[in-house]
Amino acid sequence: MSNKLIAYYSRADENYLNGMIQALQIGNTEKAASILKDLTEADLFKIEQVNPYAKEYNECIAQAQEDQRKDARPQLKRFPDNMDTYDTIYLGFPNYWGTMPMAVFTFLEHFDFSDKTIYPFCTHEGSGMGHSEADIKHLCPNAKVEKGLAIQGCKASQSKKQFEQWLKR
């Protein structure tokens, strides 16, 4: 077991890429998390909702926007058994309207991240990190939140060099 964890939320199925809706077998954030795992040898944990969003893009968008509007905390399938062994958390997610999906809020509120360092990374199609870093700092006030890395979703499979440069900081 590593003292580093990559916790990420990712969605396959229909996604918006390069101005078009495309079906993905593996979500962009999961692709990026896999590359990061190869570089860091960190443990990997996928944040999954008990009731996932629809596979169809427009329906998913409506569901996710409704959750954000309600400030919902979707129930998760599971959590890591023990966060005490981790000092470093790489937190991955797609940018949903300027921040993280609400399931990531559920994950962050479940644990005490005091004295841990969180490195956020997101996939996006033009909106970058949004205000997700500030949201993480608000949810985890006793954690050290480092500058995040924003990866264009359609380029997630080719993000190794971006991660290498980010990790050097």
The pTM is what? 0.97
Digit-by-digit pLDDT tens for the chain (169 residues) are 689 999 999 999 999 888 899 999 999 999 999 999 999 999 999 999 999 999 999 999 999 999 999 999 999 999 999 899 999 999 999 999 999 999 999 999 999 999 999 999 999 998 899 999 999 999 999 999 999 999 999 999 999 999 999 999 8
Is residue 8 left, alpha or beta, with left meaning phi > 0 and alpha meaning psi from -120 to 50? beta
Structural domains of the chain, ranges and CATH numbers in brackets: 4-168 (3.40.50.360)
What was the pLDDT predicted at 1?
A: 64
Coil, strand or helix at 135 = helix
Is residue 81 within 8 A of residue 8, CB to CB? The reply is no
CA torsion sign for 62, 105, 168, 147 is: positive
